[in-house]
Amino acid sequence: MTTMNETGVFQILVINPGSTSTRVALYDNEDERIYEEIRHKADDLAGFRHIADQYEFRVSHVRGVLESRRIQTAALHAVVGRGGLLKPVQGGTYRVGPAMIADLKEARHGQHASNLGALIAFEMARPLKIPAFVVDPVVVDEMDPVARPSGMPDIERRSIFHALNQKAAAREAAGEMGKPYNAVRLIVAHLGGGISVGAHVNGRVIDVNNALNGDGPFAPERAGGLPAGQLADLCFSGQYTRDGIHRRLAGKAGLVAYLGTNDVREVKDRISKGDSLAENLYEAMAYQVAKEIGSMAAVLQGRVDGIVITGGLAHDDDFVKRIRSRTGWIAPCIMKAGEMEMAALARGALRVLRKEETAREYE
């Protein structure tokens, strides 16, 4: 049974694996006490054929951080990792167990670095006999039935988006309104290497673009929605393999495909030097985000309490200004710039430890 120490504080270890990094943090309740980002060299990762094969390599680095920072693991109350590609689930905090471990080790629902979050958290928590959790994984699926049909029975719209950051930003925005998250109607736009725009109603994301597989606005690294017929022609042109097309859609599309960079700061520098292509693409990306926000306003039937802008690109005032110029008539804009994944993971575990929320079981 998990109990607080004599200071009344829950200590939570947070682990967030990315494609080339592993972020580690220690929280005392909501307060971040220690943070460290481990950068992994491409050469070190190149020898691993599958994401799950990196497991022991990443665990050793996390343990190295704990040792160097002299973190007393016996004082921990929970370990929480970033949720990976699982089967579709409702939002919330999930206890890591055998079914989740099996799905992630075998990558039954796809390969992604975030798959390592639950695996590492479970490994760190098991000998301490404390719970391991994941919070709002990218496969959170709360879409209404009317949002699922694509127009072809062979293809159903899928919910894959920045659920962790979207829900964390929405919770904060609702709090600033003096309301609980389950009592507001929000449009949340996460602006990063990928872009997702979701319609949040009473604690559920009832519609959202698939930010991984080619849907919604184009982004610094991703294609967004594409003309289907032309995409089909490209697939059968002989230029690409199946994997090659997927890499083009997510990772080698968007700004990086047009301009050779995913760094918006570089794009803006080009604009300042008179690059008309960079200017048009920068405007087009903001235009498409605004258009997606407008479509979500229709989903919410025009009854929108606020538009929440979050993610790394939200730090770019000019980019946000271009979005707001097209969407300001819908609802007030609430800025939550940056990503708050580490804090969101800690808070998800904390809600369970404080018995404000019951941990869900993944089956």
SS3 per residue for the chain: CCCCCCCCCCEEEEEEECCCEEEEEEEECCEEEEEEEEECCHHHHHCCCCHHHHHHHHHHHHHHHHHHCCCCHHHCCEEEEECCCCCCECCCEEECCHHHHHHHHCCCCCCCCCHHHHHHHHHHHHHHCCCEEEECCCCECCCCHHHCEEEECCEECCCCCCHHHHHHHHHHHHHHCCCCHHHCEEEEEEECCCEEEEEEECCEEEEECCCCCCCCCCCCCECCCCCHHHHHHHHCCCCCCHHHHHHHHECCCCHHHHHCCCCHHHHHHHHHCCCHHHHHHHHHHHHHHHHHHHHHHHHCCCCCCEEEEEEHHHHCHHHHHHHHHHHCCCCCEEEEEECCHHHHHHHHHHHHHCCCCCCEECC
- pLDDT beyond 80 at 305: yes
- pLDDT beyond 70 at 5: no
pLDDT in tens, 309-347: 999 999 999 999 999 999 999 999 999 999 899 999 999
Task: Evaluate whether 22 touches 62 at the Cβ level (below 8 Å).
Answer: yes
Rounded to an integer, what distance in angstroms lies between the CA atom of residue 156 and that of residue 133? 29
Nearest to 349 by CA among 7, 25, 19: 25
pLDDT band at 4 (very low <50, low <70, confident <90, very high): low
Q: Hey, what are 152's tokens? A: 């072809």
φ, ψ for residue 117, nearest 5 deg: -60, -50
pLDDT in tens, 95-126: 999 999 999 999 999 888 899 999 999 999 99
For residue 2, the model assigns a pLDDT of 53
Task: Evaluate whether 363 touches 99 at the Cβ level (below 8 Å).
Answer: yes
For residue 51, the model assigns a pLDDT of 84
Q: Rg of the chain over CA atoms, in angstroms?
A: 21
Mean pLDDT of the chain: 94
The domains located in the chain, with CATH, are 11-139+342-361 (3.30.420.40), 145-331 (3.30.420.40)
pLDDT in tens, 196-254: 999 999 999 999 999 988 899 999 999 999 999 999 999 999 999 998 998 889 888 99
Rounded to an integer, what distance in angstroms lies between the CA atom of residue 48 and that of residue 51? 7
For residue 50, the model assigns a pLDDT of 84
- pLDDT beyond 70 at 67: yes
Task: Evaluate whether 20 touches 114 at the Cβ level (below 8 Å).
Answer: no
For residue 1, the model assigns a pLDDT of 47
Rounded to an integer, what distance in angstroms lies between the CA atom of residue 119 and that of residue 133? 10
Q: Which residue has the tokens 């699926």?
A: 141
What amino acid occupies position 67? E
Instruction: List Cβ neighbours of 155 (8 Å cut-off, separation of 6 or more).
Output: none
